[in-house]
Structure 1
Amino acid sequence: MERNMRTWLEELKNAPVKKTMPILSFPAVQLLGISVNELISDSDRQAKGMQLVAEHTDAAAAVSLMDLSVEAECFGSQIRVSDSEVPTVVGRIVHDEEEARALEVPKVGSARSGLYVDAIRKATELITDRPVFAGAIGPFSLAARLLDVTEIMVECYDEPDMVHLVMEKATAFLVEYCKAYKEAGANGIVLAEPVTGLLSPALAEEFSAPYVKGLVEAVQDDNFIIIYHNCGNNTIQMIDSILDTGAAAYHFGNAIDMAKMMEHIPADTIAMGNVDPAGEFCNGTPESIRTATLQVMEACCGYPNFVISSGCDIPPRSKWENIDAFFAAVKEFYESGK
């Protein structure tokens, strides 16, 4: 359903009681009674899962799977799939500059990318009461999966030309992938760039921000926005280059102090975060997640542009009683009049 997303952001920012927007998708496997492998392999199940999550929660938006293996698989990477965990990339496919030059930019629709776009098309028909966001990996995080996450840290220094070459190809694919989601009816993308959070601010400014900015400029408009996500522990130090990407909103992980991050966010820009997805949603209790959620809100809700969220993607086996306790804590905070 087409909607003005700039208006949606403004209304969210100005609302005295803000709906939360956790990155909540994979726990749909429990509502559907299926495995993660079954979910990632079927567009109908993905769309139905998003619908069930939307019906179960009063979230500000519906968010599709944050499966950061999809794009790398399109380039030829091997992935490891299980019944209970999010898929992961195995090994590297680019070892040197020659292989970087030979690397072909895949077509959208290759591997599982077409299935994921189709899932969003179906989800937008099922969910009409809130925006629907697709998920995509960021350019540097994709390049890191093609080059190996550890090796790319070294090669940014030793082989910068090769890294930039892979970045260019990764970005070219991601632009077309985001355009396909846009055509399918998505209202925007949650763009996950977590590996950038491991870089120094100078390297992030060179190897990530310009490519994210190029992607944003290619696809973002009033009806389709990018929410930039980075759950690294260096995000506060690199916030200037992150903001320079021009994304419409930002989402940060629990590795940082969210209140300190909010000091750096422009008043007209929404930032979201950052209750621990593994420690609280997956392994916590209703009591502990209530405490953690209220602590973040008490520290950050003095900023009108703050929206409470999970720190990252909520794991598939996170207990729904914990997820429900998170939403209950958000309601409790606002009803208390704090």
Structure 2
Amino acid sequence: MKRDMRIWLKDLLEAPVKKAMPILSFPAIQPMGVTVRELISDSGLQAKAMELVAERTDAAASVSLMDLSVEAECFGSAIHVTDGEVPTVVGSIVSTEEEARALEIPAVGSCRTGLYIDAIKNAAEHITDRPVFAGVIGPFSLAARLLDVTEIMIDCYEEPDMVHTVLEKAASFITDYCKAYKEAGANGVMMAEPVTGLLSPALAEEFSAPYVKKIVEAVQDDTFLVIYHNCGGSTISMIDSILDTGSAAYHFGNAIDMAEMLSHVPEDIVVMGNVDPAGELRNGTPKSVREATLKVMESCCGHKNFVISSGCDIPPLSPWENIDAFFKAVREFYAG
């Protein structure tokens, strides 16, 4: 459903009681009785998963699968799929400048992107009480999957032209992918750029921020927002270039001190995070999740631009008792 997303964001910023906005979709496999393998292969199941989460929680928005293998698979990468974990990319497909130049930009809709776009179209038609955000990978994180995460760290120094060639193609594809999501009815995207968190601030400024900014400028408007996500441990040191991307809001992981991060972000920009998704929501207990959630909120909710969330995508097999405890703790905090 089309809506003025600038007003939604302004209302979220100004609300004294803010709804949580975790990255929550994959755990729907449990009440649905399906596997991750089945979920990622069926647009109807993906839409149903988003609807189930929307019905069960009062989250500020519905966020689709954060599956960072989809775009790389379109370029030709092999992926590893299991029944209970988020898919991962195996190996690399580019190792030379010649291969980078020869790399073809795939058509949006190829491989599983068509399924994911259809899922958002279906979900957006049925979830009308809150915005619907699709998930996409960021340009440097996509390039890292095509070149290999370890190798790209070396290539940034030794083969920068090759990295930029791949980045240009990655950014072009992601731009078109975001536009397809917009056309399908999404109100925005959550763009995951976690590999950038492994870079130095200078390298992040050269190899990530300009490409993210280019995508944001091409797709973001009053009806469609980009929320930038980076769960790396170096995000505070590179916050200037991250903010320069012009994204509408920012989402950070539990590797950083969120209260410190908030001191570096203007108070009119929404910042989300950062309860540990693996250590707490997947492997904790309802009691420990409650304590972890309240701890983050107590240290951060003094900033009017803070919205409580998970630090990253909540793992598929996270107990719903823990997820429910997270939302219950949010209500408890605001109830005083």
- TM-score (structure 2 length as normaliser): 1.00
* 8 Å Cα contact 1:75-1:105 kept in structure 2: yes
Q: Which blocks of at least 5 consecutive residues in structure 2 are unaligned?
A: none
The code of the aligned residue for 2:217 comes to E
Write the deviation string for residues 138-163 of structure 1: whole angstroms up to 9, x where unpaired.
00000000000000000000000000
1:213 matches 2:223:
no
* Paired position in structure 1 for 2:108: 108
Query: Mapping of 1:5-20 within 5 angstroms?
Result: 5-20=5-20
The code of the aligned residue for 1:49 comes to A
Q: How far apart are 1:31 and its partner, in Å? A: 1.8
Provide the secondary structure at the position in 1 that maps to 2:250: strand
1:233 matches 2:266:
no
* 8 Å Cα contact 1:31-1:49 kept in structure 2: no
- Work out the CA distance in 2 between the residues paired with 1:320 and 1:61: 18
* Paired position in structure 1 for 2:302: 302
Q: How far apart are 1:329 and its partner, in Å? A: 0.2
- Work out the CA distance in 1 between the residues paired with 2:4 and 2:266: 21
Q: Which blocks of at least 5 consecutive residues in structure 1 are unaligned?
A: none
The code of the aligned residue for 1:161 comes to D
Q: How far apart are 1:99 and its partner, in Å? A: 0.3
Q: How far apart are 1:126 and its partner, in Å? A: 1.3
Q: How far apart are 1:193 and its partner, in Å? A: 0.1
* Paired position in structure 2 for 1:85: 85
Count the aligned residue pairs. 336
- Work out the CA distance in 2 between the residues paired with 1:77 and 1:92: 7
Q: How far apart are 1:291 and its partner, in Å? A: 0.4
What is the root-mean-square deviation in Å for CA atoms of aligned residues?
0.3
The code of the aligned residue for 2:137 comes to I
Provide the secondary structure at the position in 1 that maps to 2:49: helix
Provide the secondary structure at the position in 1 that maps to 2:172: helix
Q: How far apart are 1:17 and its partner, in Å? A: 0.6
- Work out the CA distance in 2 between the residues paired with 1:193 and 1:266: 21
Write the deviation string for residues 110-136 of structure 1: whole angstroms up to 9, x where unpaired.
110011000000000110000000000
The code of the aligned residue for 2:261 comes to M
Write the deviation string for residues 8-50 of structure 1: whole angstroms up to 9, x where unpaired.
0110111111000000010010121100000000000000010
Query: Mapping of 1:278-289 within 5 angstroms?
Result: 278-289=278-289
Query: Mapping of 1:220-299 within 5 angstroms?
Result: 220-299=220-299
* 8 Å Cα contact 1:197-1:233 kept in structure 2: yes
- TM-score (structure 1 length as normaliser): 0.99
Provide the secondary structure at the position in 2 that maps to 1:261: helix
* Paired position in structure 2 for 1:42: 42
The code of the aligned residue for 2:215 comes to L
* 8 Å Cα contact 1:2-1:185 kept in structure 2: yes
Query: Mapping of 1:78-227 within 5 angstroms?
Result: 78-227=78-227
Write the deviation string for residues 47-105 of structure 1: whole angstroms up to 9, x where unpaired.
00100000000000000000000000000000000000000000000010010000000
The code of the aligned residue for 1:126 comes to H
Provide the secondary structure at the position in 1 that maps to 2:10: helix
1:23 matches 2:12:
no
1:59 matches 2:59:
yes
Provide the secondary structure at the position in 2 that maps to 1:237: coil
Provide the secondary structure at the position in 2 that maps to 1:66: coil
Write the deviation string for residues 202-224 of structure 1: whole angstroms up to 9, x where unpaired.
00000000000000000000000
Runs of 4+ in 1 over 3 A off after TM superposition: none
- Work out the CA distance in 1 between the residues paired with 2:221 and 2:125: 21
Provide the secondary structure at the position in 2 that maps to 1:190: strand
